[in-house]
Amino acid sequence: MLFFVSLALLNGVLIGASRTINGQLGTRAGAFRASVWNHVVGFVFLSAVLLVLRTWPDITDVPVAAYAGGVFGALFVAVNSYVFPRLGAMSASVLVISGQVLSAVVIDCVQQGTLPAPVRLAGVALVLLGLSLPRITAHLRRKDP
Amino acid sequence: MTGRVLDWLLAIAGGVLLTLMTLSNAVLARHTDALYASWAAHAVGAVVALLLVPAIARRGAPVRAAGAARTPLWYYLGGIPGALVVVLSAVAVNSELALAGTIALMLTGQVVFGTAADHLGLLHTPQRRVTGTDLAVAGCVLAGSVLIVLGGA
């Protein structure tokens, strides 16, 4: 169990490292070129993995719309590479995660036509509280003579 | 300050893009498998990004300051840890952690890495002082996200 916990944590570290490196390249080459490199290098790497594992699924009945993920991915890496060096790895990660989980809750709501479970609503409130903390502390400091 | 607000909004919009990407990739993975889905998404993403470079980034690459060091090779390899996650997360999701546990731990790993990277200046990032407010923001967002992930739909 500890192995899988460490593996999942390592995954998070790898995501952070990937986004930080892309951000660094973005400062040299521009955010969109960083997105190109990210996708080309990732594609070559995954091609090698596919060749080694020799797995190839049946792709005959895939809706074309399912391939739209690549479009969102290309835009995401560009946006992310732009903001990472500007905000710092920590703030950028936290803000991207906020956008991710909040939009996921909204999409689930719309798709299922129901309100989120109370635990989820508490989570949304906590995320929103976190995002407004800098404003709140700045406000308190102004009031404090 | 307005510049910073725009950066904040862009980063949050990035998260929304990530959700849309995950949603489409999940449909693709359901029809095929996780590895193929990510492979195909990388191929489509490469083409789209390549088309966007002349369309949007028409001002071209930032001009490198005279005397600045050459871009290190590893700056170009950010796609490898990103793609590795696809393979490793498939292993973790199939363990007792399941999807929710895996995602919660991955979010934690990201925030911990971001904090360490800023504090220590890892991977050539400029060293930044991590303030108490920063930690409180990260703590609230992380705790809230874990509640959302574990709380079910």
Alpha-helical (H) ranges within chain B are 2-31, 34-56, 79-93, 98-120, 132-150
Residue B62 pLDDT exceeds 80: no
Interface test with B, best of A1, A6, A11, A62 (most B CBs within 10 A): A11
Residue A100 pLDDT exceeds 50: yes
d(CA B143, CA B8): 20
Task: Compute the half-sphere exposure of residue B129: CA atoms within 13 Å on the CB side of its CA.
Answer: 3
A132 interfacial to chain B (CB closer than 8 Å): no
pLDDT band at B1 (very low <50, low <70, confident <90, very high): very low
Q: Do A37 and B78 touch (CB under 8 A)?
A: yes
Q: What is the mean pLDDT of chain B?
A: 88
pLDDT band at B89 (very low <50, low <70, confident <90, very high): confident
Give the ipTM of the model, two decimals please: 0.92
A110 interfacial to chain B (CB closer than 8 Å): no
Indicate the residue of B7, B56, B113 with minimum beta-carbon distance to A83. Answer: B7
**3-state class of B59 per DSSP?**
coil
Supply the pLDDT for residue A92: 95
Q: How far does the CA of residue A73 sit from the closest CA of chain B (Å)?
A: 6
Residue range A122-130: mean pLDDT, rounded: 96
Residue B60 pLDDT exceeds 60: no
Task: Compute the half-sphere exposure of residue B153: CA atoms within 13 Å on the CB side of its CA.
Answer: 12
pTM of the model: 0.91
Residue B20: left (phi > 0), alpha (psi -120 to 50), or beta?
Answer: alpha
Classify the C-alpha dihedral B107-A76-A18-B42 as positive or negative: positive
**pLDDT 10s digits, B123-143:** 998 899 999 999 999 999 999
Residue B4 pLDDT exceeds 90: no
Owner of token pair 């991955």: B106
- A-B Cβ pairs (cutoff 8 Å, strict): 433
Indicate the residue of A41, A53, A73 with minimum beta-carbon distance to B76. Answer: A41
Indicate the residue of A5, A27, A96 with minimum beta-carbon distance to B14. Answer: A96
**3-state class of B152 per DSSP?**
coil
Among residues A96, A78, A120, A145, the alpha carbon closest in space to that of B78 is found at A78
Indicate the residue of B118, B130, B152 with minimum beta-carbon distance to A117. Answer: B152
Q: How far does the CA of residue B129 sit from the closest CA of chain A (Å)?
A: 10
Among residues A101, A138, A91, A100, the alpha carbon closest in space to that of A121 is found at A101
pLDDT band at B64 (very low <50, low <70, confident <90, very high): low
Supply the pLDDT for residue B54: 86
Integer distance in angstroms from the first to the last C-alpha of chain B?
36
The pair of structure tokens assigned to B128 is 């930044």
Indicate the residue of A46, A78, A90 with minimum beta-carbon distance to B134. Answer: A90
Instruction: Tell me the CA distances in angstroms from A108 to A116, A120, B27, B100, one per residue in order.
Output: 8, 11, 15, 15
Supply the pLDDT for residue A137: 87
Classify the C-alpha dihedral B129-B132-B134-B135 as positive or negative: positive
Alpha-helical (H) ranges within A30-117 are 31-53, 69-87, 89-112
Owner of token pair 């790993």: B109
Q: How far does the CA of residue B2 sit from the closest CA of chain A (Å)?
A: 13
Interface test with B, best of A24, A46, A53, A54 (most B CBs within 10 A): A46
Q: How far does the CA of residue A65 sit from the closest CA of chain B (Å)?
A: 8
In the stretch 40-69 of chain A, residues with CB closer than 8 A to chain B read: 40-43, 45-47, 49-50, 53, 55-59, 61-63, 65-69
